[in-house]
Chains A and B, each alone.
Chain A
Amino acid sequence: MSLRHVFESQPDRRYVMFGGKGGLGKTTLSATSAFWLARQGKRVLLFSVDPQASLSDIFQRDIFGKGPVPIMENLWAQEVDADRRIKDYQEEIRKKILDMYGFEKVPEEIDNYIAAASAEPAMEESAIFDAVVDIIVQGDYDYYIYDLVPLGHALYYLSMAKVYDEWINKITKLRADMGQYDQVAATMRREETVQEDAILSELIYIKERINASSRILTDKARTAFFFVVVPEEMIILDTKKAAELFAKFDVPLSGYIVNRVLPPDLGAGTIPPYLRNRIAMQKKYLDEIKGTFGHEVLAYVPEMERDVTGLGMIERLARRLFEEGS
Chain B
Amino acid sequence: MADAAKPKKKGGILGVFKDIVYGMSSHEMTRHAVRTRASMEHLFILITMGDLLGVPILPPYYSLRLLPYVTPQIAGWKRRMLRERDVTDVLG
Interface residues of A (CB under 8 A from B): 89-90, 93, 96-97, 100-101, 107, 109-110, 113-114, 116-118, 120, 122-123, 125-127, 129-130, 160, 164, 167-168, 171, 174-175, 177-178, 180-185, 188-189, 198-199, 202-203, 206
Interface size on B, residues (CB 8 A): 41
8 Å CB interface, B6-62 against A: 12-14, 17, 26, 29-30, 33-34, 36-37, 40-41, 43-44, 47-49, 51-52, 56-62
Query: Nearest Cβ in chain A — how far from B85, in angstroms?
Result: 12
Report whether B67 and A93 are in contact in the complex, using a CB–CB cutoff of 8 Å: yes
If A126-B59, A129-B59, A198-B69 touch, whether A184 touches B17 (CB-CB below 8 Å) is yes
Query: Nearest Cβ in chain A — how far from B13, in angstroms?
Result: 5
Report whether A117 and B64 are in contact in the complex, using a CB–CB cutoff of 8 Å: yes
Report whether A188 and B29 are in contact in the complex, using a CB–CB cutoff of 8 Å: yes
> Which A-B residue pairs are the 10 nearest by beta carbons?
A126-B59, A126-B61, A181-B37, A185-B33, A188-B30, A184-B33, A117-B60, A123-B60, A96-B68, A109-B77
16 contacts between A and B (CB under 8 A): A97-B68, A109-B74, A117-B51, A122-B60, A126-B61, A174-B47, A177-B13, A178-B37, A183-B14, A185-B34, A188-B26, A188-B29, A188-B30, A198-B69, A199-B69, A206-B62
Q: A-B pairs with CB below 8 Å: how many?
A: 116
List 10 additional A-B contacts (Cβ < 8 Å) besides A168-B58, A180-B13, A181-B33.
A93-B65, A117-B64, A118-B64, A129-B59, A178-B41, A178-B44, A180-B12, A184-B33, A185-B34, A203-B66
* Complex contacts, B68 vs chain A, CB 8 Å: 93, 96-97, 100
Report whether A171 and B58 are in contact in the complex, using a CB–CB cutoff of 8 Å: yes
B88 interfacial by beta-carbon distance below 8 Å: no
Interface centre among B17, B41, B63, B71 (most CB of A within 10 A): B71
Query: Nearest Cβ in chain B — how far from A121, in angstroms?
Result: 10
Interface residues of B (CB under 8 A from A): 12-14, 17, 26, 29-30, 33-34, 36-37, 40-41, 43-44, 47-49, 51-52, 56-72, 74, 76-77, 81
If A110-B71, A110-B77, A174-B47 touch, whether A182 touches B37 (CB-CB below 8 Å) is yes
* Complex contacts, A113 vs chain B, CB 8 Å: 49, 52, 67, 74
Consensus secondary structure, chain A interface: helix
* Complex contacts, B65 vs chain A, CB 8 Å: 93, 202, 206
Consensus secondary structure, chain B interface: helix
Report whether A185 and B63 are in contact in the complex, using a CB–CB cutoff of 8 Å: no
B14: contacting residue among A129, A167, A184, A198, CB under 8 A: A184
* Nearest neighbor of B63 in chain A, beta-carbon distance: A117
Report whether A110 and B74 are in contact in the complex, using a CB–CB cutoff of 8 Å: yes
* Complex contacts, A167 vs chain B, CB 8 Å: 57-59
* Nearest neighbor of B18 in chain A, beta-carbon distance: A184
Report whether B51 and A107 are in contact in the complex, using a CB–CB cutoff of 8 Å: no
* Complex contacts, B56 vs chain A, CB 8 Å: 120, 122
Report whether B61 and A123 are in contact in the complex, using a CB–CB cutoff of 8 Å: yes
* Complex contacts, A182 vs chain B, CB 8 Å: 37
Interface centre among B51, B61, B62, B76 (most CB of A within 10 A): B61
Q: With the chains together, A122 CA to B49 CA distance in Å?
A: 14
If A180-B13, A180-B14, A185-B30 touch, whether A110 touches B59 (CB-CB below 8 Å) is no
Q: With the chains together, A189 CA to B31 CA distance in Å?
A: 10
Q: With the chains together, A101 CA to B48 CA distance in Å?
A: 20
* Nearest neighbor of A188 in chain B, beta-carbon distance: B30
Q: With the chains together, A178 CA to B67 CA distance in Å?
A: 18
* Complex contacts, B67 vs chain A, CB 8 Å: 93, 97, 110, 113-114
